[in-house]
Amino acid sequence: RDNFGTEAQSVQTSPDILLKNIKSATDISDILLSVKMHHNIMNCRHVIQAFRAIFALQKSEYTNMSNGEVSRSSEFKTLCHELKKQIRTIGIDDRIDALKTLSFLGVSANTKIVQILLQTLTKDIVELSLQQITFLDFLIKDFVKGPLVEALQIALPMIFDAYLHTKMEGDSFQYLTDLLHYATRKNLSGASLYLIDTIMKKRQEMDFKSAKSIIRSICELKVDDSRHRPLLHHALDLMVENRSNCTYQDFDILISKMVNKFLDRNPYFYHEEFLNSAINFILSNDCGFNESVWMLRKAIKFGHVSYELLDYLFAKIEQDPKLIAESGTLVLFTFIKGLSQADYRPANWQMIEPLVIKNALSHKHQWNLPWINFMRDLCTLDTWSLELIGFIFSPEFQENYLKEYSIFDHLQLMSVYQAVKMLCPWYNGPWPDTHAIDLAIKANGIHLMESPLRDSLIQGLGDKRCVLNGVSTKLGHYIDHVISLRKGGYPVAFTNVDTNTQIFLEDLPRAEDSTIVAVFNLPSFAFAINTNKLKGSFRLMLQTLELYGTT
Claim to verify: residue 56 and residue 151 sit in the same structural domain: yes
pLDDT in tens, the chain (551 residues): 344 444 444 434 444 788 888 888 888 888 999 899 988 888 999 999 999 999 999 998 777 899 999 999 999 999 999 999 999 999 999 999 999 999 999 999 999 999 999 999 999 999 999 999 999 999 999 999 999 999 999 999 999 999 999 999 888 999 999 999 999 999 999 999 999 999 999 999 999 999 999 999 999 998 877 889 999 999 999 999 999 999 999 999 999 999 999 999 899 999 999 999 999 999 999 999 999 999 999 999 999 999 999 999 999 999 999 999 999 999 999 999 999 999 999 999 999 999 999 999 999 999 889 999 999 999 999 999 999 999 999 999 988 887 776 888 889 999 999 999 999 999 999 999 888 888 888 888 765 556 778 888 888 888 888 898 888 899 999 999 999 998 888 898 888 888 878 889 988 888 778 888 999 988 899 999 999 999 999 999 999 999 987 77
Number of domains in the chain: 5
From 444, 467, 482, give the residue that closes a domain.
Answer: 444
Whether 64 maps to a domain, the answer reads yes
Between the alpha carbon of residue 494 and those of residues 40, 450, 461, 476, 491, the distances in Å are 104, 19, 12, 22, 10
Whether 538 maps to a domain, the answer reads yes
Whether 406 maps to a domain, the answer reads yes
Q: What are phi and psi of 494, to 5 degrees?
A: -90, 105
Instruction: Report the DSSP beta bridge partners of residue 492.
Output: 484
Q: Which residues contact 348 (CB under 8 A, 6 or more apart)?
A: 314, 318
The conformational region for residue 489 under phi > 0 = left, psi -120 to 50 = alpha, else beta, is: left
Q: Which residues contact 290 (CB under 8 A, 6 or more apart)?
A: 331
Q: How far apart, in whole angstroms, are the C-alpha atoms of residue 287 and residue 252?
A: 12
Claim to verify: residue 152 and residue 195 sit in the same structural domain: no
Claim to verify: residue 297 and residue 344 sit in the same structural domain: yes
Cβ proximity of 10 and 41 under 8 Å: no
Nearest CA to 359 out of 388, 331, 310, 324 is that of 324
Please give the pLDDT value at position 92. Answer: 97
Q: What are phi and psi of 57, to 5 degrees?
A: -70, -40
Q: How far apart, in whole angstroms, are the C-alpha atoms of residue 539 and residue 29?
A: 74
Claim to verify: residue 223 and residue 326 sit in the same structural domain: no
Claim to verify: residue 426 and residue 383 sit in the same structural domain: yes
Cβ proximity of 396 and 367 under 8 Å: no
Which amino acid, residue 48? I
448: DSSP letter: G
Cβ proximity of 372 and 409 under 8 Å: yes
For residue 548, the SS3 value is coil
Claim to verify: residue 431 and residue 492 sit in the same structural domain: no
Whether 1 maps to a domain, the answer reads no
Please give the pLDDT value at position 453. Answer: 84
Claim to verify: residue 152 and residue 51 sit in the same structural domain: yes
Q: How far apart, in whole angstroms, are the C-alpha atoms of residue 345 and residue 355?
A: 15
Whether 2 maps to a domain, the answer reads no
For residue 514, the SS3 value is strand
Q: How far apart, in whole angstroms, are the C-alpha atoms of residue 49 and residue 36?
A: 15
Q: How far apart, in whole angstroms, are the C-alpha atoms of residue 308 and residue 376?
A: 23
Whether 513 maps to a domain, the answer reads yes
Cβ proximity of 35 and 50 under 8 Å: yes
Cβ proximity of 33 and 75 under 8 Å: yes
Please give the pLDDT value at position 222. Answer: 86
Q: What angle do CA 511, 515, 518 make, to 5 degrees?
A: 120
Whether 7 maps to a domain, the answer reads no
Q: In which domain, by residue range, is 249 found?
A: 171-177+187-287
Q: What are phi and psi of 484, to 5 degrees?
A: -120, 130
Cβ proximity of 42 and 11 under 8 Å: no
Please give the pLDDT value at position 22. Answer: 87
Please give the pLDDT value at position 368. Answer: 87
Q: Which residues contact 266 (CB under 8 A, 6 or more apart)?
A: 224
Q: How far apart, in whole angstroms, are the C-alpha atoms of residue 349 and residue 155?
A: 60
Please give the pLDDT value at position 372. Answer: 95
From 241, 259, 287, give the residue that closes a domain.
Answer: 287
- In terms of DSSP bridges, do strands 478-486 and 503-504 run parallel, antiparallel, or are they unpaired? unpaired
Rg value, the chain, Cα: 34
Whether 310 maps to a domain, the answer reads yes
Q: How far apart, in whole angstroms, are the C-alpha atoms of residue 336 and residue 329?
A: 10
Claim to verify: residue 161 and residue 34 sit in the same structural domain: yes
Claim to verify: residue 378 and residue 420 sit in the same structural domain: yes
Claim to verify: residue 331 and residue 300 sit in the same structural domain: yes
From 287, 308, 339, give the residue that closes a domain.
Answer: 287
Claim to verify: residue 342 and residue 271 sit in the same structural domain: no
Nearest CA to 394 out of 408, 413, 421 is that of 413
Instruction: Report the DSSP beta bridge partners of residue 490.
Output: 486
Claim to verify: residue 522 and residue 505 sit in the same structural domain: yes
Q: How far apart, in whole angstroms, are the C-alpha atoms of residue 33 and residue 76?
A: 10
Which amino acid, residue 274? F
Q: How far apart, in whole angstroms, are the C-alpha atoms of residue 504 and residue 473?
A: 5
Global pTM? 0.87
Nearest CA to 199 out of 183, 185, 187 is that of 183
Nearest CA to 339 out of 330, 349, 329 is that of 349
- In terms of DSSP bridges, do strands 478-486 and 468-472 run parallel, antiparallel, or are they unpaired? antiparallel
- In terms of DSSP bridges, do strands 468-472 and 490-492 run parallel, antiparallel, or are they unpaired? unpaired
Continuous H helices in 362-461: 371-380, 386-393, 395-401, 407-423, 434-443, 454-461
Q: How far apart, in whole angstroms, are the C-alpha atoms of residue 393 and residue 374?
A: 13
Residue 99 CB neighbours (<10 A) = 23
